[in-house]
Copies of this chain bind each other. A is one copy, B any other.
Amino acid sequence: MLEPWPRLDSTVRASYEVFRVREDRCRSPRTGQVHSFYVIESNPWVNVIPLTPDGRIVCVEQYRHGIEAVTLEIPGGVVDAADETPRQAARREMREETGYDSAGLVDLGVVAPNPAILNNRCYTFLAPDAHPVGGQHLDGTEEIAVTLVDAAEVPALIRSGRISHALVVAAFYLFDLWQRTR
């Protein structure tokens, strides 16, 4: 019943460092009419839940320019599509942002950050047995504080809005569902 919309053409309108905007002209399979849609293109994103042997999550706090506030999140970032897999990117981001490492990342699932206007996916991993291996390696604009949070406190932090990043909330649900099937 629901069919894809054939894409007649696609034009990049502008590039903004970590994303770019393109305009697609597509034909409705139902009406035959042509409409324009704007799509934000980005490399894939990753999130990783570093879990320590004593049941704590290695979280990060940083100032976020989108909402102009300091957030509590898990490590994550953008896959360097040219030369790494999502799994490699997740481990790299965990190392760089927290100084923790874990050899055996577990694949918790994949979400689409916003299938209406974003073309990319976000890959979520669990890093069991996370342990400190050194300092942070931050780039010039990153200022990140590492905070350990008891895993049992996470649901209350989400309910209260202290953890508010939708992709982090989704990551914790994937972790929750994974635990139930163990």
Contact = CB atoms under 8 A, between A and B. Distances in A.
Given A141-B35, A165-B115, A4 B172 contact: no
Counted per complex, copies of this chain come to 2
A167 interface: yes
Contact of A63 (B5, B117, B118, B180): B5
Interface string A99-123: 0000000000111111111110110
A70 interface: yes
Interface residues of A, number: 72
Contacts of A169: 111, 169-170, 173-174
A61 interface: yes
7 contacts: A2-B70, A18-B117, A19-B38, A29-B143, A30-B143, A66-B115, A113-B113
